[in-house]
Chains A and B, each alone.
Chain A
């Protein structure tokens, strides 16, 4: 059994969903990590959940990135530990510099709360290992600032190094502007770092792990990391 460490910031609101997915659905162990904690309680994988950390004041994720827990998360990531940022957690990873780029307001200025389809672009990350390349996942989104932006050079590098992991697409898997809910560059829904152990995405896989919730497509991301850790061994912080 592996331990999921789920960071709780003031204003996180998908922490319980992530905990439920990891423990009740996947049958793994889960621990909450308060933002003022300084150690990861033996977590084998760290999730930064969705929500509105610190009320999204200043910029999304801008205050959360300076939380006392973050140095431990960054050290864990540096040592190769799998880190997943979901929605607001993705925004925190961007602000912390663990992933490149930034989020702008959705191009239509509207908060989008709906199901979208994303295409798995690469499965050589701990969170997409058991997914197939090109597999379409139907996942919910709920955000006002998911319009991924980075300068042209950074986007070109992300593409060249195969670090765009999820792209918004239509039912057929075609990446179209109509399928892009927020205006994100190149329909980017999720990316990974250079070492591929840190993944961030705007959609919510943790809210799509059971059929009763409308989709179980997100489950593959949790199963992937369980498999990845079984294969590669467990990364622990000191």
Chain B
């Protein structure tokens, strides 16, 4: 089963990369693009019997390894078979 983990900086944490991308987009004329935040995306193949189990496993590795809770939060999605 495939699980997707999206890791983003917490809203309170300044994202210099996102800000630089935002500035570049504005200089290209995309005035309609507001705040840009850069994050990370992980695709995991997980062995699980149910979507709930897959989600729990992905959340566990996100908590422990993929995200740093000091600066980042994460969201998990599981692709239904």
Task: Tell whether, in the assembled complex, residue B12 and residue A151 are in contact, meaning their CB atoms are under 8 Å apart.
Answer: yes
Q: Interface readout for B46-65 with A: 1 if CB under 8 Å, 0 if not?
A: 00000000000000000001
Task: Tell whether, in the assembled complex, residue A108 and residue B68 are in contact, meaning their CB atoms are under 8 Å apart.
Answer: no
Give chain B nearest CB distance to A28 CB in angstroms.
34
A58-B70 in contact given A108-B16, A109-B20, A151-B12 (Cβ < 8 Å):
no
**Contact of A150 with B by CB under 8 A:** yes
Q: Interface readout for A134-152 with B: 1 if CB under 8 Å, 0 if not?
A: 0000000000000101110
Q: Interface readout for A80-119 with B: 1 if CB under 8 Å, 0 if not?
A: 0000000000000011000011101111110000000000
In B5-30, which residues have CB < 8 Å from any A CB?
Answer: 12-14, 16-17, 20
Task: Tell whether, in the assembled complex, residue B68 and residue A95 are in contact, meaning their CB atoms are under 8 Å apart.
Answer: yes
Task: Tell whether, in the assembled complex, residue B20 and residue A149 are in contact, meaning their CB atoms are under 8 Å apart.
Answer: no
Task: Tell whether, in the assembled complex, residue A102 and residue B20 are in contact, meaning their CB atoms are under 8 Å apart.
Answer: no
Task: Tell whether, in the assembled complex, residue A105 and residue B16 are in contact, meaning their CB atoms are under 8 Å apart.
Answer: yes
**Contact of B44 with A by CB under 8 A:** no
Point out the residues of chain A lying under 8 angstroms from B68, CB to CB: 59, 62, 95, 102
Task: Tell whether, in the assembled complex, residue B17 and residue A109 are in contact, meaning their CB atoms are under 8 Å apart.
Answer: yes
Pick from A58, A104, A106: contact of B66, CB below 8 A.
Answer: A58
A92 to B42, alpha carbons, bound, how many Å?
A: 22
In B24-38, which residues have CB < 8 Å from any A CB?
Answer: none
Point out the residues of chain B lying under 8 angstroms from A109, CB to CB: 16-17, 20
Point out the residues of chain B lying under 8 angstroms from A102, CB to CB: 68, 70-71
Give chain A nearest CB distance to B14 CB in angstroms.
7
Point out the residues of chain B lying under 8 angstroms from A107, CB to CB: 14, 16
Give chain A nearest CB distance to B31 CB in angstroms.
23
Give chain A nearest CB distance to B29 CB in angstroms.
22
Determine chain A's interface SS by DSSP, over half rule. Answer: loop
Determine chain B's interface SS by DSSP, over half rule. Answer: loop
Count, chain A residues at interface, CB 8 A: 20
Task: Tell whether, in the assembled complex, residue A106 and residue B71 are in contact, meaning their CB atoms are under 8 Å apart.
Answer: no
Point out the residues of chain B lying under 8 angstroms from A58, CB to CB: 65-66
In A173-187, which residues have CB < 8 Å from any B CB?
Answer: 183
Point out the residues of chain A lying under 8 angstroms from B17, CB to CB: 105, 109
Smallest CB gap from B14: residue in A: A104
Task: Tell whether, in the assembled complex, residue B65 and residue A150 are in contact, meaning their CB atoms are under 8 Å apart.
Answer: no
Give chain A nearest CB distance to B20 CB in angstroms.
6
Point out the residues of chain B lying under 8 angstroms from A101, CB to CB: 70
Point out the residues of chain A lying under 8 angstroms from B13, CB to CB: 104, 149
A59 to B68, alpha carbons, bound, how many Å?
A: 8
Q: Could you pull out 21 A-B pairs where Cβ atoms are within 8 angstroms?
A: A58-B65, A58-B66, A59-B68, A62-B65, A94-B70, A95-B68, A100-B70, A102-B71, A104-B13, A104-B16, A107-B14, A109-B16, A109-B17, A109-B20, A149-B13, A149-B70, A149-B71, A150-B70, A151-B12, A151-B70, A183-B16
Q: 10 tightest CB-CB pairs across the interface, nearest first?
A: A102-B70, A102-B71, A105-B16, A109-B16, A102-B68, A107-B16, A59-B68, A109-B20, A149-B71, A105-B17
